[in-house]
Structure 1
Amino acid sequence: MPPDPIQRLLDSPPDLPVLGGLPALTAALRDRAVAVVQAPPGTGKTTLVPPAVAAMVAGDGLVVVTQPRRIAARAAARRLAGLLGERVGQTVGHTVRGDRAVGPGTRIEFVTTGVLLRRLQRDPELPGVAAVILDEVHERQLDADLTLAFLADVRATVREDLLLVAMSATIEAERTAAMIDEEPAPIIDVPGALHSVTEHWTPPPPGVLPTDERGVPPRFLDHVAATVRHALSVDPGDVLVFVPGVGEVDGVMRRLSGLPDVDVLALHGRLPAREQDVALALGPRRRVVVSTAVAESSLTVPGVRVVVDAGLSREPRTDQARGLPALVTVRVSRSAAEQRAGRAGREAPGAVHRCWSRADHGHLDPHPAPEIAVADLTGFCLELAAWGDVEGGSLALLDRPPAAAVEAARHTLGELGAIDEAGAITDRGRAMTQVPADPRLARALLDGAETVGARRAAEVVALLADDVRVPGGDLVAALRTLRRGGPTTRSWSDTAKRLESLLPERPPRTELTDDLAVGTVVALAHPGRIARRRAGGTSYLMVSGTGASFRAADPALAGVRWIAIADAERRPGARDATIRSAAPVDEDIALDAASGSWHEADEVTWRDGRIVARRVVRLGAIELSAVPLSDPSAEAVAAAVAQGLAREGLALLPWNEAAVALRRRLAFLHHALGDPWPDVGDDALVAGINAWLGSDLARVRGSRDLARLDVLGALRRLLPWPAAGRLDELAPERVTVPGGATARVEYGTSGTEQPVLALRLQDAFGWTATPRIADGRVPLLLHLLTPARRPAAVTADLESFWAGPYRQVRAELRGRYPKHAWPEDPTSSSARP
C-alpha cells in the first residue's frame, strides 16, 4: 500500500511556526470537536492545519477549508498539493465559482465561503464532510459570518460529530470561541515569526488627496507609482503594491510601463486563473505585483520583500433610505495596514512604503467595520429566510445586523417576490438562492430569461455582476463592446456562460431589441430604479422617489423618456443621485417589471391655498395619470387641510384677539400646572388637530373657508372638564385692584413667560403683597406706571418694593405730579386713590 501523502507531509513538514500549535489543536478537537486558532500571517496555518485535521479523520470524511476569495482558495490548494507532490484534484482539491478540481481520492477541499454556504442551504447535515475549517474569519464578510453561525447551529442540532475550526490572523478569539459552542471553544494561540519590516512614510505632495468626489484622483496614482519607483531603487526583492480596486490596478500599471528589467503584473479577482497563477509564482526577473485587497491576508506572493501601500480600501456601504448600495473607497484601517506590511516580512526582512504620513496613521480606524454593520443586507436576509430563521434571532452571529438595514432588505425581498408577508421564503426565493449572485440579479436572471432569452439575460446579469465601468453610462454600448471580445472580456464571458447554464432550455425571444432587452433585465433587477424623465427638464425621477441625473459628459441616454438605472451614487449634499449606468425601457416594460409598485388611489391635498382632489395612478413615486375627483370624502379633506396647516403653519387660521388670549392663558396653565391643562404649542395643536378642529376642517375647500372657521370655539373643545370651571380663577383675564377697578393680565405666547399686570402705581395702593394666580403658584409681574401711564417701576415682589425702592420713586413722582397723593404708607386702606 503506498504511503499516505498527508501523513508523509506531517512526518517531514516545512519549518513553519504553526507546527508548535498542532498538538494542542488535535487534542482540542478530540476533546471538544471545536477549536479557535489565532495565528499571525506567515505562520503556516492555511498550509498545515488542514492536513493535521485530515490525519485525525483519516478515511472518515472530507475536510472542507473555506477561503474568502476564489483566488485564495485556488492558491492554497495549489500550494498544499505541491507540498504533497501531487496535482490539484488528487488528495487536495478546490471548488470555486466556475472552477472545480476534485477527484475520488480528494480528502481536503478548499472552497470559497459562498460555496460552503450553498452546500449548507442544500443539506445542513453536510453528508461526507467530517470537518470544516473556516480560514480568515477576521475579514468579517457577510458570507463568513453567516457560515460560522449556520455551522454552530448545525453542530448544536444535527451534527455533533462535525469538527469545526475557526482561524485567522487577527480574530476576536474570545468572542468567536464563546459563539461557536455552548461552552467557549479552546483557543490555540500560535506566536508569529515574521521577519522585521522597516517602515517608510511617503505622504503625497501638498494639495494631492487620496480620494475626491470622483474616486481616486490621477495625481494620487502618480504618487503611488513614484513611490514604487523609489522603492525599487532602494530596497531589494519583488514589490507588492496595494490599491483599492481594479481601475486603480490598471492605472498604476500604466504608469509603471517601461520599467527596465522589471515585470509589472496585476493581481485581482477578475483576472483569468492563468494570469492569477502567473502573479503568484516566482518569475525570471524582478516583479512588481499591483494588487487589490485579495493579497492582504489570505495569499502569499512569493519573492515579495517590499510592500507599497496606497492606504485605501474598497468597502460596501448602503444608503438605506434610497436603496443605493455601492462600494466606496475609504482609508485603510490600522489592522489592515499591518496585515499588508506583513506581506514584506514573510520570507525575509523587508520594507513597507506607506503613501501617507506617520501622523495620519494615528488617525486611522483600528479595524475595518464588519460588513454586517455597513453593507446591503438583501442577500443576507434571503439566506436567513432560506435557513428558516427569518429574524436570525436564534443564530450565533458575532454582531446583530442594524434594524434599518434589515427592514430595507426585507422590503426589497418582498418586492422581488422572494419572501411572503411573514418573511418566510417563497418558491421564487428558493430558486433565487441557487443563483450565485445578489438576489436582485438572481431575480433578473430568472424572470429575464423568460422575456429576453436565457443567453441575453445571462449576458446582462454578468455585466451587472462584474460591476463593469460603463463609459458614457450606456449599458447597451458596454454590452456590445464586450461581445466583440478582447483580453478584458474573459471574466464577463465566463460568468455569462455559468449563469446561462443554470437556466432551463428555452427558445430565444427575438422581438425585443438589444436596447430594450438590456433595459428589461436591469429593470427586473432594480424595479425601484426604473425612472422617467421629469417634465421640462433633463433629470429623472425613480420609482423609489429618488431623483437622478446623468453627468453632463454622458449624453447618450440623456433624452430617453424611460430608463432603468443599474448603478447610481448620491453624494452627501447632492439633490439627485448621479447615474453611472443605465439602459432604455418603455412604459410597458416599466409597468411589468415594477408591477408591485403600481397603485391607484384618491389623493386629496392642500395646494396653493385650496383643496386639490384627484384620482391618481402611480408607479411608485412616478405619476402616470390623474383625473379630477369631484366628491372627496370628508375624512380625506380634513386630513389634507390638516397636512396643509402642518406644512404651512397655524397662521393660516383666523386667530382673533379672543382666540389668541385663550390660547395664551391655556399655554400658561399647561406650563404652570401641567395636566389636565393641554399643550397648545404649534406642534401639539398640529399633532392633535382632530381633537379641536377636525370636524370643522371637512367643510374647507379653500382659504376663504379657513377664514370663516371659529378658532375660539374650537380651542374651547380642549378645555379639560371639570377643571375648565376654574379657568377664570387660575388664569384670570382681568384682576380687580384695591380701588375696585380692573386691570388686564397679559400672558406670553409660549406660556413660560411670567404674566404681566400693568397698572398705575396709585392703583396698587392698599396691596400689601403681589397678587398671585395659578393657585398661588405664580406671582404677577407688576409694571407700575406713572399717572401719565409711563413706566415707573417693575416688580414681582411688591412687599419688598414698598419697603425700599418706593421711597425713591415716591420722592421723584411727588415733584413731577404734585396734585396726586403719594402716601408714606402705600399699604393702608386710606392710601387708596
Structure 2
Amino acid sequence: MLAALPIDDVLPQLVAAVRDRRVAVLVAPPGAGKTTRVPGALRDAGVVTGEIVVLQPRRLAARLAATRVASERRVELGGEVGYEVRFDRKVSAATQIRFVTEGVLTRRLLSDPELRGVGCVIIDEFHERHLDGDLALALVARLRERRPELALVVMSATLDAEPVAAYLGDAAPAPDGAPAPIIRSEGRVFPVTVEHLDQPDDRHLGKQIAGAVRRIAQANLDGDVLVFLPGAGEIRRATEDLADVAATFDLAVLPLHGDLTVDEQDRAVKPAKQRKVILSTNVAETSVTIDGVVCVIDSGLARIARHSPWSGLPSLQIEPVSRASCAQRAGRAGRTRPGRVVRLYTKHDHDTRRAFEVPEIGRTDLAGAALELHGAGLAGLGALRWYEAPPAVAAAAAEELLARLGAIADGTITALGRRMLRFPVHPRLGRIVCEAEGRGVAKEACVIAALVGARELRLERRGPQGAAKISAPSDLIEDLDALLDARSHHLRADRLRRDGLDIATAHTVDKTAKQLERIARDERPAPASDEDVDRELQIAILSGFPDRVGKRRSPRSADIVFAGGGSGTLAASSAVVDAELMVAVDVAETGARGAASRVQIRRASAIEASWLLDLYLDRIEERDELVWNAQKNRVERIVQMTYDGLAIDEQRDVEGARRAGRPAAELLARQAIAAGIEKFVDRDELAQWRARVTLVAKVAPNSGLVAPTDDHLAEVIGRACEGAISFEELRKSSLLALLDAGLGEHRALVDRLAPTHLGLPRRRRVEIHYELDQPPWIASRMQDFFGLARAPAVGDGRVPLVLHLLAPNQRPVQVTQDLPGFWVKHYPGLRKQLMRRYPKHAWPEDPTALIDGER
C-alpha cells in the first residue's frame, strides 16, 4: 500500500479533465507528489492510450523520478517505467512511462513530428521556463491540431496558471471557448520557521555554512540538513569547511549535483542511519524530494543559465535566485514535519529580489532551437505559436548566425545543417565537429567542442589575474593537448593537480567529448603529422566562429580589431601572443557599472588569411585605392584584401600614388584644406597678402578684382598639389607665389595701390602692415617723419596710413592718422620732454622742415 500524498486528493479531478478536455494545468506545492503519482494515475485510469512522456528540467530529476515511480509501481526500472536523458537512457520496448529531459522530447518531436505511440505529454516544473520546455510546449500544442486525442498536462509548484490555461485552451478549443481546466492541490504544509541574517555576512560561503550547521546541530538536530549552493565548486569547498563540524556531530556530508555518478547521487537521496548534510545545487529545488530533511540552509544563490552575446554559447553565472525559488527551497523543509529554514541573506535582500526568473526564451541564444525547427521542416522560430514569443531581435540574430555557419540557405536547412543536428550541442560547436569530420580530425574536434562549452581547464588562466605561461597558436589546442595527456594517465587526480588542471572540468570535458565521439565519423584519414592535425583543427575552429575574426592593431599588440566592426583586448590568460589573425572564441565584457563595457578575449585561436579565402570567398573584397597616411601626412596607394571590412592582406605603394596623378592631387588637396592653408605658408605673410588684395578690391571696385575667399584659397591649394603627394612637398611649392601669380593682370594694381613698403624722408623703406577690416599702418622713429607735412597714404592717396611714432628707444610716443594736427597740437610739448631725455638727437622747432642728422 502506497503512502498517502497530498496530490492523491485531486487525482480524480485531473483524470476527469484529461478524459474530457485532453488538456489540464496542475498546480501543486513541492513535495505534494505530482511528479511521481500523476503519470501512473493517468495510465491506470485508462484515459491515455500509448506512452506517457514526462518532461523534467534536469537529468538528475528525470532519473530519480523514474526510479521512484518504478519503485512505487513495483516494476523494474527500464521496463514499464524508464528514463532518457542526454547521453543516457534506461528504457525498453515495454516502457509506458518515460521520464525525459526537455531537450530529448524536443529532438524526438523534430525527428518524429507525430510522436507516434505517445498518448500523453506531461511538462513538469514549467515555472522554470527553460527554452526547451517552451519549445516542447509549442510543438506539442501545434501537434494537437492534427492529433486532438494527444493529452497535454502542464504541472508546476509556483505557476501563474491562468495564462497557461488560456494558451492550452486556444490550442484545443472547447465548444464554449473555455480555457484548459486548472486543478490545484493545496498540499500538506507543516509550519516552517524562516530565519534571515541581521546583516550581510562577508565571510567565505563555506565558512557561513559551517557556522550555520554547527548552530543547528547544537540545537538537537533530529533529521537531515539540505544546503543549497550555486555549483559543484562551491560544494567541494563547503565540504572541506564542514569537516570539523561533521566530525564533532557525527554528520555525513554528501554532495548532490548533476555531474556525480548514479551511486553518488543515490547516497545523497536515499535514507541513511547517519544524519546527513546534503550539499546540493538547485537540482533539489524541484522534482527531487529527499525524505528526512528537517532543515534547509539557503545561500540564496544559483548558477543561472545565461548566454554569451558574443558567441551565443551558454554559460552559468552565479546570481541571486528569485523569491519564487526561495519559496521552493524553503518548502523542502516542511514536507513531512515542522521544519526550519536558515537563509544566509537579509530579509531586505529577499524582499527586493525579482519575483520570478526571466524565462530563458527572453535571455538566451536561440540558434539551436531555430536549427532544430528548420530541421523539422518549419520556417524557423516564427513558425510556432509560442506561449511567450521570443524577442524579434534575438530570433533574427539566430537566423543570421545559422546562415553564416552554412546551416541554412534561403530560409531552408542545408545538408550541412542536418549533419550539425546530429550533435546535441550549440550550432557553432556542431559546425566545428562537422568541419573536422571532413578533415580527418573529428575525435580531436569533439574534445575541442567540449572544451569550448566548459570552464577554462587550466587553473593558472582563471580569474582577473590569470595568465598564460607559454605562447601557442591556439588556446583550445593547448587545452586539447593537456587533456589528451591527462587521458593517457587515466585522469588521475594527482596528475591533474600536478599539471594545474581543474579536476572537475577535466572529467566533465572528457565525458562530453566521449559522448560526441560516439556520434562523429571521420570522412578521410587523419593527417600525417601533428602540425597538420593542428592546422586542420584551427580551420575547424574558424568554421564555428566565422563572424568573430580579429586582427592585431600592430605586431604583438593586445588590441584586436574585429571584422564587421568593434574591437577588444586579448587577455593575459590567452597564449595566442604572436598571431596576427585569430578568431575570438571566449569573450568577457568587463567594465564598471554604468561605464562602457570592454571586450576582453580570454581564449582565441590563430588563423591564416588563405583559410578565409578557401572557406569564405564570398565575403572577401579587394580594394585598390588611394588612402591618406595620417602619420606620414602623405597619399599612398593601397592594395588591400578585406574580410567583412577587416584588412587581412595589405600592400602600400608610395610611388603608385604619384603615378595616380589627379586623384592623388585631389586627395592631398582635401587633406591640406582640412589641415588649414596656414600649415604651408607663413601665417603672417598670408594674412598680409589677403588683407592687401581685399583692400585693393574695395578701393578699386571697377577693376574686376575680387577679395580672396576660402574657396579661392582652396583652388590655389589644388593647383599646388598637382604632381605632389605629401605635405612636405606642398610646403616646398611656395604657395604664396602661386597666390600672387593667381592675381594675373591685377597683380600690378595690387602692388601699386597696396605696396608692401614706402619711403620716408629720413628712411628709405618702411614696411606697411595690412590687416583685414583695419586701416594699414606703419611704425618708425619720429625723426623719420621730419620733413613730412601730411601723413602718407595708399590706394592712390585714398587710404591714409596709421602712423606709429616711436621714440629713439623704439617705444610708441603717438599713434595718429592726422600728422599735421600732431605737429601743431602735440609735438611742441613732446619736443621739450624728448630734448631732455635724448639731448644728442635733433628736435627741430619746425618738424615739417627736413634736417640733416643721424639716421
Structure 2-normalised TM-score? 0.67
Letter of the structure 1 residue corresponding to residue 102 of structure 2: T
Matched, 1:165 2:189: no
Partner of residue 75, structure 1: 64
Matched, 1:351 2:357: no
Letter of the structure 2 residue corresponding to residue 180 of structure 1: L
Partner of residue 402, structure 1: 391
Partner of residue 765, structure 2: none
Q: Distance in 2 between matches of 1:81 and 1:255?
A: 37
Q: Distance in 2 between matches of 1:104 and 1:319?
A: 41
Partner of residue 769, structure 1: none
CA deviations 1:36-90 (Å, max 9, x no partner) are 1111111111011101122244783111111011111000000001111222111
CA separation of 1:602/1:386 partners in 2, compared to 1, >3 Å: closer, same or farther?
A: farther
Matched, 1:433 2:405: no
Of the three residues 479, 483, 502, the one matched with 1:479 is 483
CA deviations 1:648-704 (Å, max 9, x no partner) are 99xx9xxxxxxxxxxxxxxxxxxxxxxxxxxxxxxxxxxxxxxxxxxxxxxx99999
Of the three residues 476, 495, 520, the one matched with 2:512 is 495
1:409-420 correspondence to structure 2 within 5 Å: 409-420=398-409
* Structure 2 gap ranges (5+): 174-178, 462-477, 494-503, 680-723, 736-855
CA separation of 1:457/1:607 partners in 2, compared to 1, >3 Å: closer, same or farther?
A: same
CA deviations 1:692-726 (Å, max 9, x no partner) are xxxxxxxx99999xxx9xxxxxxxxxxxxxxxxxx
Matched, 1:176 2:164: yes
Matched, 1:268 2:260: no
Q: Distance in 2 between matches of 1:55 and 1:611?
A: 85
Superposition deviation, residue 579 in structure 1: 3.6
Partner of residue 106, structure 1: 95
Matched, 1:255 2:272: no
Q: Indicate the SS of the match to 1:451.
A: coil
CA contact (8 A) 2:574 2:604 kept: no
Matched, 1:223 2:240: no
CA contact (8 A) 1:452 1:510 kept: no
Superposition deviation, residue 131 in structure 1: 0.9
Partner of residue 569, structure 1: 588
Of the three residues 236, 239, 257, the one matched with 2:225 is 239
Superposition deviation, residue 542 in structure 1: 6.1
Q: Distance in 1 between matches of 2:108 and 2:665?
A: 57
Q: Indicate the SS of the match to 1:356.
A: strand
Q: Distance in 2 between matches of 1:399 and 1:40?
A: 24
Of the three residues 305, 313, 321, the one matched with 1:332 is 321
Q: Distance in 2 between matches of 1:522 and 1:639?
A: 45
Q: Indicate the SS of the match to 1:165.
A: strand
CA contact (8 A) 1:448 1:521 kept: yes
Superposition deviation, residue 541 in structure 1: 2.2
Superposition deviation, residue 320 in structure 1: 4.0
1:56-67 correspondence to structure 2 within 5 Å: 56-57=45-46, 60-67=49-56
Partner of residue 214, structure 1: none
Matched, 1:284 2:273: yes
1:681-696 correspondence to structure 2 within 5 Å: none
Superposition deviation, residue 223 in structure 1: 2.9
Greater C-alpha Rg: 2
CA deviations 1:576-597 (Å, max 9, x no partner) are 4334444555555566566665
Superposition deviation, residue 466 in structure 1: 4.1
CA contact (8 A) 1:532 1:542 kept: yes
Of the three residues 119, 123, 127, the one matched with 1:130 is 119
Matched, 1:627 2:640: no
Q: Distance in 2 between matches of 1:640 and 1:141?
A: 57
CA contact (8 A) 2:314 2:453 kept: no
Of the three residues 136, 139, 144, the one matched with 1:147 is 136
CA separation of 1:575/1:133 partners in 2, compared to 1, >3 Å: closer, same or farther?
A: closer
Partner of residue 283, structure 2: 294
Greater mean alpha carbon deviation, residues 569-578 or residues 187-196: 569-578
CA deviations 1:263-321 (Å, max 9, x no partner) are 22222222223322222222332222222222221211332222222112222444647
Alignment: residue pair count = 644
Structure 1-normalised TM-score? 0.69
Of the three residues 16, 26, 31, the one matched with 1:37 is 26
Q: Distance in 1 between matches of 2:223 and 2:667?
A: 74
CA separation of 1:254/1:597 partners in 2, compared to 1, >3 Å: closer, same or farther?
A: farther
Q: Indicate the SS of the match to 2:650.
A: strand
Of the three residues 430, 442, 456, the one matched with 1:454 is 442
CA contact (8 A) 1:65 1:134 kept: yes
Q: Distance in 2 between matches of 1:367 and 1:296?
A: 14
Superposition deviation, residue 31 in structure 1: 1.2
CA contact (8 A) 1:26 1:56 kept: yes
CA deviations 1:170-222 (Å, max 9, x no partner) are 123111112234232111111132322211113675656xxxxxxxxxx3443
* Structure 1 gap ranges (5+): 1-11, 209-218, 653-699, 709-833
Q: Distance in 1 between matches of 2:479 and 2:549?
A: 14
CA contact (8 A) 1:452 1:512 kept: no
Greater mean alpha carbon deviation, residues 100-109 or residues 400-409: 400-409
CA contact (8 A) 1:463 1:479 kept: no
Q: Distance in 2 between matches of 1:107 and 1:278?
A: 28
CA separation of 1:347/1:528 partners in 2, compared to 1, >3 Å: closer, same or farther?
A: farther
Partner of residue 618, structure 1: 642
Q: Distance in 1 between matches of 2:671 and 2:208?
A: 56
Partner of residue 200, structure 1: 195
Superposition deviation, residue 124 in structure 1: 0.8
Q: Indicate the SS of the match to 1:380.
A: helix
Q: Indicate the SS of the match to 1:344.
A: coil
CA deviations 1:402-436 (Å, max 9, x no partner) are 2222222222111111111x322222212222211
CA deviations 1:79-137 (Å, max 9, x no partner) are 00111122211110111112111123221011111111111111110111111111111
Q: Distance in 2 between matches of 1:246 and 1:586?
A: 39
CA separation of 1:451/1:83 partners in 2, compared to 1, >3 Å: closer, same or farther?
A: same
Instruction: Give % identity.
Output: 37
Letter of the structure 2 residue corresponding to residue 570 of structure 1: E
CA contact (8 A) 1:519 1:582 kept: no
Q: Indicate the SS of the match to 2:423.
A: coil
CA separation of 1:322/1:638 partners in 2, compared to 1, >3 Å: closer, same or farther?
A: farther
Q: Indicate the SS of the match to 1:355.
A: strand
Q: Distance in 1 between matches of 2:65 and 2:665?
A: 69
Q: Indicate the SS of the match to 2:438.
A: helix
Partner of residue 190, structure 1: 185
Q: Distance in 2 between matches of 1:70 and 1:633?
A: 68
1:5-44 correspondence to structure 2 within 5 Å: 12-44=1-33
CA contact (8 A) 1:311 1:331 kept: yes
What is the root-mean-square deviation in Å for CA atoms of aligned residues?
4.2
Greater mean alpha carbon deviation, residues 32-41 or residues 59-68: 59-68
CA deviations 1:728-770 (Å, max 9, x no partner) are xxxxxxxxxxxxxxxxxxxxxxxxxxxxxxxxxxxxxxxxxxx
Superposition deviation, residue 357 in structure 1: 0.6
CA contact (8 A) 1:271 1:491 kept: no
Partner of residue 3, structure 1: none
CA separation of 1:249/1:567 partners in 2, compared to 1, >3 Å: closer, same or farther?
A: farther
